[in-house]
Amino acid sequence: MAINKVKGMYDVLPSESHLWQALEQKIREILGLYNIKEMRTPVMEYSDVFHRHTELSDMVTKETYNFDDRGNRKLTLRPEGTAGIIRSYVENKLYASQELEKVYYIGPNFRYERPQKGRYRQFYQFGVEAIGTISPALDAELVILAYDFVKRLGLKGVRVKVNSLGDDISRETYLEALKKHFMPHEAELCDDCKARLKKNPLRILDCKIDQNHEAVKNAPTPQDYLNKESRDYFLKVLDHLDAAKISYEIAPRLVRGLDYYSHTVFEVEADIEGFGAQNVLGGGGRYEKLVSELGGPNLGGVGFAFGMERLLLALEAENVDFAKEKELDAFVIVFDEALKTEATRILYELRTSNMIADTNFTHKSFKGQLKQALKFKAKYLIFLGDEEYKKGMVSIKDTKTEKQEEVLLSKVKKYLLEKMEK
């Protein structure tokens, strides 16, 4: 019986993997410019890493894959990268050697969401965290990096939205105001929002069910409740964004779906038809309590993450030619099965000189082999035939110029190397 993949998950097939490789390469290239190092943490953590808080987001309460291992430990497949990075930052006392730790990560995450285009149960994120200090310049640095990143990928229809939730005091005042605002409408809200009203009314603002309710549309925004310190902080962030001359929008209603943010929050949206709510390519913000909640000192951080499937969908939708499949340098076409060992010798020799080379392994006819070579876009065809072999020769054809030459078997590598240098 054939078994299918798990619902909401997908395979990257051989014809698609070059896109993923190119995206990852681009990420590493760009992050290098910002002097940011990679960090890798496990895909699973003790559940407490994610389930720490009373104000839990939907992602943590309803969407995580939780299970007990054979030793009855409670584990969770990571739904996002940040918490695991902070767990490791604290566990390895990275704060002791570095005032500011800037890291990036690439890896799979798991959320039990309703699958649709751009939303999966296993998805890849590329993210950045800068942990150890609070500074408007650093918040701006991350927004600028997110902007620069999508631009360098070649995406055009993207918008960067920023907002501030303010410090703890502003946030608390705002939450109280939100509660007051929604209380008279409690009975009209969905069951989830009824619960959110008590625990964390911020979540009501990005509820997918109640999004068109008048009370949600008219809700006060965090901007209305920023105290002076928070407002000054936000204005400084904006000064830095202006200094870098990046284009952004202030989005007063942007609150983000996770529970740990304060001060700056931001998202990168794409204008892509058919993407629906999945047009948010990435988002992030400042977090002040995560490090201490996970047992570390009282240090803040700021970060963001992009969904890599969404980036690839956006690149495809905008027809950005950012990844080329590798073309073959040479393909060996064999006329006689008996000459296959000679093909093996030639191939190995070419590869030791870093040429991309292949041959046919499935007993195809001459025509079939030729078709295969052209499909791989081989630059040179090496014809290994009886007659020539007896003379110690092969024929090599340049597929671009269509020119064909006889070459001594012992000179194949040298010949191709010289040709390719030109």
CB-nearer residue toward ligand HAM: 103 or 396: 103
Q: No. of H helices and E strands in the chain? A: 15, 16
Q: Please, what is the minimum distance in Å from the beta carbon of residue 304 to ligand HAM?
A: 5
For ligand HAM, which is the closer residue by CB, 269 or 329? Answer: 269
Q: How far is the CB of 414 from ligand HAM (least distance, A)?
A: 50
CB closer to ligand HAM out of 129 and 210: 129
- Cβ distance to ligand HAM smaller for residue 234 or 260: 260
Contact 389, 342 (CB under 8 A): yes
Q: Nearest approach, Cβ of 348 to ligand HAM (angstroms)? A: 42
Pick the closer one to ligand HAM by CB: 129 or 329. Answer: 129
Q: Which of 325, 415, 339 is nearest to 383 (CA)?
A: 339
Q: Which residues bind ligand HAM (CB under 6 A)?
A: 80-82, 111, 113, 119-120, 123, 125, 127, 129, 257-258, 280-285, 303-307, 309-310
| Burial of 268: CB neighbours in 10 Å, binned 0-12, 13-18, 19+ | buried
In contact, 300 and 133? CB cutoff 8 Å: yes
β-pairing, 44-46 vs 37-38, is unpaired
Tell me the H-state helices in 200-320.
214-217, 228-243, 290-293, 308-317
Query: How far apart are CB 307 and ligand HAM at their closest, in Å?
Result: 2
Which C-beta is closer to ligand HAM: that of 45 or that of 342? 45
Rounded distance between C-alpha atoms, residue 274 and residue 276, angstroms: 6
Residue closer to ligand HAM (CB basis): 204 or 302: 302
Taking the alpha carbons at both ends of the chain, their separation in whole angstroms is: 54
Supply the DSSP string of 352-371, one letter for each residue.
Answer: HTT--EEE--S---HHHHHH
Give the nearest distance from C-beta 379 to ligand HAM in angstroms: 38
DSSP 382-393: EEE-HHHHHTTE
DSSP 3-state of 351: helix
The residue whose two tokens read 């994610």 is 50
CB of 416 to ligand HAM, least distance (A): 44
Phi-psi domain of 218 (left: phi exceeds 0; alpha: psi -120 through 50; beta: other): alpha
* Between 7 and 228, CB nearer to ligand HAM: 7
Euclidean distance between CA atoms 190 and 209, whole angstroms: 7
Tell me the closest approach of the beta carbon of residue 280 to ligand HAM, in angstroms.
4
**Largest Cα–Cα distance of the chain, in whole Å?**
94
Nearest distance, CB of residue 282 and ligand HAM, angstroms: 5
In terms of CB distance, is 309 or 329 closer to ligand HAM? Answer: 309
**Shortest separation between residue 277's beta carbon and ligand HAM, angstroms:** 10
Nearer Cβ to ligand HAM (86/357): 86
Nearest-approach distance from CB 39 to ligand HAM, in angstroms: 13
Q: How far is CA 215 from CA 181, 188, 208, 384, in A?
A: 8, 10, 14, 77
201, 255 Cβ separation under 8 angstroms: no
Cite the beta strand spans of 153-272 per DSSP E.
Answer: 158-164, 249-250, 261-270
Please name the residue that has the structure tokens 């204005």. Answer: 235
